[in-house]
Amino acid sequence: MKNLIKVERARNSITQAELAEKVDVSRQTINSIETGRFVPSAVLAFKIAKALNIKADELFELEEGD
């Protein structure tokens, strides 16, 4: 699953640590999601989208094979 977290973080000028604190996960988890090594649950995906002021389906996109 592709995501635009890095782009949206840059647009909102927040670091991985700040985003992690907002959604109550570790910075390593945000990093893993950004790099595509970990696919978050729907709840976490919605929380991240809300923290970045964007819709979840705009932030996350299914790839072929998902």
Partner 1 sequence: MIYIWTSIIDTHMKKLSQKQSLLFPYHQAIKWLGLTVLLFAVAALAFKLIHRQWDSLKPVPELISLGLVFIFFSKEKMDDERIHQLKFRSLSLGFLYSYFLTFGFQYLFSRAATAHEFIATAMVFTTAIYYFAKSKV
Q: Which residues of the shown chain bind partner 1 in the complex (CB under 8 A)?
A: 24-26, 28-29, 31-32, 38, 40-41, 44
Q: How far is the CB of 34 from partner 1 (least distance, A)?
A: 11
Query: Measured from the CB atom, is 4 or 44 closer to partner 1?
Result: 44
Cα separation values, 63 from 10, 26, 50, Å: 23, 25, 22
Query: Measured from the CB atom, is 4 or 21 closer to partner 1?
Result: 21
33, 5 contact by CB (below 8 A): yes
3-class state of residue 60 by DSSP: strand
Residue written as tokens 């709840």?
43
Query: Measured from the CB atom, is 11 or 36 closer to partner 1?
Result: 36
